[in-house]
Amino acid sequence: MEKKVKRIALLSGGGDCPGLNAVIRTITKTAISKYGWEVIGYVYGYRGLYNNNYIELTEEKVESIYKEGGTILFSSNKDNLFDYLVDDGKGGKVKKDVSDVGVENLKKAGVDVLVVLGGDGTLTSARDFSRKGVNVIGVPKTMDNDLASTDVTYGFMSAMSVGTEFIDRLTTTAKSHHRVICCELMGRDAGWITLYAGLAGNAGVCLIPEIPFTIENVAKAIQKRDEAGLPYTVVAVAEGAKYADGTKVIGKIVEDSPDPIRLGGIAAKVADDLEKVIPNHEVRSVNPGHIIRGGDISAYDRILSIRYGVAAADLINEGKFGNVVTINGDKMGYTSLEEVIGAAKVGQQKHVDPQGELVKAAKAIGISFGDE
Ligand code: F6P
């Protein structure tokens, strides 16, 4: 007979995004009040699991974090226990598989189930712990919304609403001064945030990773707007947008990160390149960067986080370990960690379809993607 669950542990890994706290709160409250389990939270993601560093989570502790962005458990996007930097005993560092320490610490803390809130990287480790026999449930997190197995992840709608506000605010100045303003929005490999915010904020041009662009086409679109009596344009640029010749802009290399490339700076390049071909406009750029994923959780994401959290607790109760919670259509469900990670590894993330209905709708109302 299956061992009865008494104690569960949560951890959050990867970049923060709005909704993490709301999911932590929901799982904690459901675990305690519906199922009578104890809940602990490892701090700093898998590093906390390695160092046996955790806090007790109580209803009182989580009650007011339903709308707070970020994560009260803190996060790390560098600490993979299957490839972990440890002292080599000679004054240097070496990478080692220390996952057994994690498994031991779970046993020591009396944890029956580990609930992992994270994206690709964090969930890859979750899959690997599951392969080692740990009872794991994944709750997918990505504000980029590019996870193939689920329709929408918490954090996306919040980020998209903030992106929309940026475009709204920039439009005021663009309109008053007849300027072109390029606004860079996060979204590494997928253009969802830029497409949604671009549509909602009525950007004149949207540049996304899925649709390579040329400066000439963007300039043509701006000129067309000028001729239509709209002598101002906000260009929404995804950080991962690429020129037709394949040019992308890297902002920073984070050496000790498993995924070291950080994008950033493409809006400034697009602005420079544009100013050379549209001398009748002053062209500016802004890169709000992490502001897009900060602040409060949107009302939509608060509810989505409740749904993800309750579904995660219910999966634990049903003993369906090794799975990730999903939402498809209006139905909560689950997919195996193996499948989710397998798809991410072979590059089957969820991308904007350049021929899809949303892009067609945008084009129908005159939004250019710089591709024609
Ligand atoms: O994946 C989420 C995300 O916010 C991306 O949109 C962005 O490229 C990346 O994380 C930034 O990561 P960091 O916070 O490490 O700079």
Residues sharing a CB contact under 8 Å with residue 250, sequence separation 6 or more, in sequence order: 261, 262, 263, 264, 265
Residue nearest to atom 14 of ligand 1 (CA): 15
The verdict on the CB of residue 141 being under 6 Å from ligand 1 is: no
Cα of 292 to ligand 1 centre, how many Å? 10
Judge if the beta carbon of residue 187 lies within 6 A of ligand 1: yes
Is a pLDDT exceeding 90 seen at residue 34? yes
Query: What's the topology of domain 159-293+352-364?
Result: Rossmann fold (3.40.50)
Atom of ligand 1 nearest to the CA of 293: 4
Asked whether the beta carbons of 23 and 85 are under 8 A apart, the reply is no
Instruction: Write down the catalytic residue from 79, 112, 120, 144.
Output: 144
Residue 1 pLDDT greater than 50, yes or no: no
263 lines ligand 1 (CB under 6 A): yes
Q: What's the whole-number mean pLDDT along residues 268-279?
A: 97
The single-letter DSSP state of residue 298 is P
At 124 the pLDDT is 95
Q: Going by CA atoms, what residue is nearest to atom 10 of ligand 1?
A: 15
Burial code (b: 16+ CB inside 10 Å, e: under 16) for 139-159 equals bbbbbbbbbebbebbbbbbbb
The CATH class of the 7-154+297-329 domain is: alpha beta
Largest CA distance in the chain: 76
The answer to whether 120 is a known catalytic residue is no
Whether residue 16 is predicted with pLDDT greater than 70 in this model: the reply is yes
Each residue of 46-89: pLDDT tens digit? 999 999 999 999 999 999 999 999 999 999 988 999 999 999 99
CB-count exposure of residue 241 (10 Å: 0-12, 13-18, 19+): buried
188: Cβ below 6 Å to ligand 1? Answer: yes
79-96 pLDDT, tens digit each? 999 999 999 999 999 999
Contacts of 123 (CB under 8 A, 6+ apart): 116, 138, 140, 324, 337, 340, 341, 344
Cα of 288 vs centre of ligand 1, distance in Å, is 13
Kindly report the protein residue whose alpha carbon is nearest to atom 15 of ligand 1: 15
Ligand 1 lined by 262 (C-beta under 6 Å) = yes
- Give the atom of ligand 1 at the shortest distance from the alpha carbon of 143: 2
Give the Cα separation of 337 and 137 in Å (integer): 8
Residue 192: in which H helix or E strand, if any?
A: helix 192-201
- Asked whether 195 and 352 are in contact (CB, 8 A), the reply is yes
Q: Average pLDDT over the chain, rounded to whole?
A: 96
Minimum CA distance residue for ligand 1 atom 11? 262
CATH 3.40.50.450, the chain: domain bounds: 7-154+297-329
Confidence of residue 181 (pLDDT cuts 50, 70, 90): very high
Residues of the chain with CATH 3.40.50.460: 159-293+352-364
Q: Phi-psi category of 113—alpha, beta or left, where left has phi over 0 and alpha has psi -120 to 50?
A: beta
- Residues of 176-192 as b/e, b for ≥16 C-beta within 10 angstroms? eeebbbbbbbbbbbbbb
Adjacency order of strands within the sheet including 233-238: 205-207, 233-238, 180-185, 283-286
Nearest atom in ligand 1 to 15's CA: 14
State the distance from the centre of ligand 1 to the C-alpha of 304, rounded, in angstroms.
Answer: 21
Q: What is the pLDDT of residues 250-260, one digit of tens each?
A: 999 998 888 89
Give the pLDDT band (50/70/90) at residue 2: low
